[in-house]
Structure 1
Amino acid sequence: MASSQSRRAPASPEPAELFERLGVHITPGTLERALTHRSYAYEHGGLPTNERLEFLGDSVLGFVVTDHLFSVHPDLSEGDLARRRAAVVSTRALAKVARRIGVGRFVRLGAGEARSGGADKDSILADTLEALIGAVYRDHGSVAAAALVHRHVMPLLDEPDLMRESTDWKTVVAEAASRHGLGEVRYVIEGRGPAHDPRFQATLTVGGRTYGSAVSSSKKQAERDAAAEGWPALEATLPVRRG
């Protein structure tokens, strides 16, 4: 019968560079768990994976981001708060943070997953970052975990491109128009260009007033981009909500 020692893979040395980039130290056992993808665990006799820490980190992340947005933006509606939170805790956003830190080089992957580029997959990077947040919470508590989130995730709120790409602006426009009785929301489409390379210009109108336009190779994307372009002008006409 195989001993428990033979079923375990040798522990990786402590990655000082990762600790430096994270801004916090994680104990060896907790770190090993946080970096162990299920593909690696399966190939090494069923080691514990990072999925439980990921679950924990996801909850910590959601609370810290929600608390920050609620405190810093007292005038934002529930819907606006939810949209901003969704943008910064999305898989794409968290993967972006993980790449900046260099998490991919330290994730323990199975051979097949490693060959298929798993170390740079958004889903794996995002899940591992959440596991690291959970690991910091387990090792050092809520204050240290919150500091980690503020240090690395909260700056995403200042990146307009990410916020824009992560938001369903057509829904934002439609909800605002309905809530404030602004009239019908329409996207006027004009096609141009050859059949093999079409371009569509969408112009957003609300209550007959034009707010923005955009051009794309698909009608749906042109409408989404027009909504994003037109939202600042539309928002400026809305009454300020307080309380």
Structure 2
Amino acid sequence: MSKQEEAIQRLKVKLGFRWHNPALLTQALTHSSCVHESRGHGLCHNQRLEFLGDAVLELLISEHLYQMFPDRTEGELTKKRAASVCEPSLAKVARGLDLGRCLRMGRGEERSGGRERPSILADAFEALLGAIYLDQGLEVTRKFVLACLQPVIEDVVAGRLDRDYKTELQETLQQTSPEPLSYVIMNETGPDHNKTFTAGVIYRGQVIGRGNGHSKKEAEQQAAKDAFAHLGVIRAAVPKNGSTSKLPE
């Protein structure tokens, strides 16, 4: 038995249930680079399951926080949810499950450190949730999500996690103007299985921050972080009367 097969067996033990459709687990643990290098050959990568798992995760964490904090506002709950399900948080949980060692991926991606890349680990965790949801239903998925993310949520409540720059930037600027922020992917480079994204954060028609990352979420967080470096200039460019001034390029 290979080391990867041993890691998958350990994962099955941690999950604690028998799969009705084991192919879902295989798909959840298949990175797109594996499909790319094998030129298909009947393999399905995990991106569709990631899409589903992302939605299931947001629902379950929203429900948990709603019940956990009955007196908190919508904005406060949104901020806690964002910190709980952000890429670094999910990557941390994925490392605890040893998902990196379980993944099937292309040789090029593996050589470039893909098994430890936060974006890949976070996506794999979401794909695994999508597979569990389809195979076992919502209640089993809820128990698994809360068991995995409870330590993360405790860190969020205690303020021990990395800052969520997107939420903080939105809240800070809306103290001056109610106009919302928006994010745009300005550039993509690299092959499909190893892209680098460049994101821009736009406020009142101007790009106020740029950032790069191996996922769109990471690039957007870096763009928001970059905007904080210009926050004094941005505030000065938006008078309290709401008139528009030119923001930094």
TM-score normalised by structure 1 residue count:
0.63
- Which of residues 26, 30, 33 is equivalent to 1:32? 26
- Secondary structure, in 3 states, of the residue corresponding to 1:153? helix
The Cα of 1:149 is off from its aligned counterpart by 0.6
Q: Distance in 2 between matches of 1:147 and 1:176?
A: 38
The Cα of 1:154 is off from its aligned counterpart by 3.0
Aligned to 2:14: 21
Aligned to 1:107: 103
Say if 1:88 and 1:154, in contact at 8 Å, map to a contact too. Answer: no
Aligned to 1:117: 113
Q: Distance in 2 between matches of 1:176 and 1:24?
A: 49
Residue-by-residue CA offset, 1:102-144 (whole Å, 9 max, x unaligned):
1100011101000000000011000000011111111110111
Aligned to 1:88: 84
Aligned to 2:163: 165
Cα distance change on mapping 1:29 and 1:115 into 2, 3 Å: same
Q: Distance in 1 between matches of 2:162 and 2:16?
A: 29
Cα distance change on mapping 1:90 and 1:25 into 2, 3 Å: farther
Report the residue type matching 1:21 in the other structure: K
Q: Distance in 2 between matches of 1:127 and 1:153?
A: 15
Structure 2, unaligned runs of 5 or more = 179-225, 232-249
User: Which runs of at least 4 in structure 1 moved beyond 3 Å after TM superposition?
Assistant: 11-14, 22-27, 160-164, 167-179
Q: Distance in 2 between matches of 1:61 and 1:104?
A: 20
Cα distance change on mapping 1:86 and 1:25 into 2, 3 Å: farther
Q: Distance in 1 between matches of 2:177 and 2:8?
A: 53
TM-score normalised by structure 2 residue count:
0.62
Cα distance change on mapping 1:162 and 1:110 into 2, 3 Å: farther
Structure 1, unaligned runs of 5 or more = 1-10, 180-217, 224-243
Q: Distance in 1 between matches of 2:47 and 2:169?
A: 35
Q: Distance in 1 between matches of 2:160 and 2:38?
A: 38
Say if 1:12 and 1:32, in contact at 8 Å, map to a contact too. Answer: no
Aligned to 1:156: 152
Q: Distance in 2 between matches of 1:177 and 1:21?
A: 49
- Which of residues 129, 133, 141 is equivalent to 1:133? 129
Q: Percent identity, aligned pairs only?
A: 38
The Cα of 1:31 is off from its aligned counterpart by 1.0
Report the residue type matching 2:30 in the other structure: T
Residue-by-residue CA offset, 1:150-193 (whole Å, 9 max, x unaligned):
110232111135445236546556768999xxxxxxxxxxxxxx
The Cα of 1:43 is off from its aligned counterpart by 1.4
Report the residue type matching 1:158 in the other structure: E
Aligned length: 176
Name the stretch that deviates more: 26-35 or 59-68.
Answer: 26-35
- RMSD (Å), alpha carbons: 3.0
- Secondary structure, in 3 states, of the residue corresponding to 1:15? helix
- For the pair shown, the structure with the greater C-alpha radius of gyration is 1
- Which of residues 133, 137, 142 is equivalent to 2:138? 142
Q: Distance in 2 between matches of 1:75 and 1:177?
A: 26
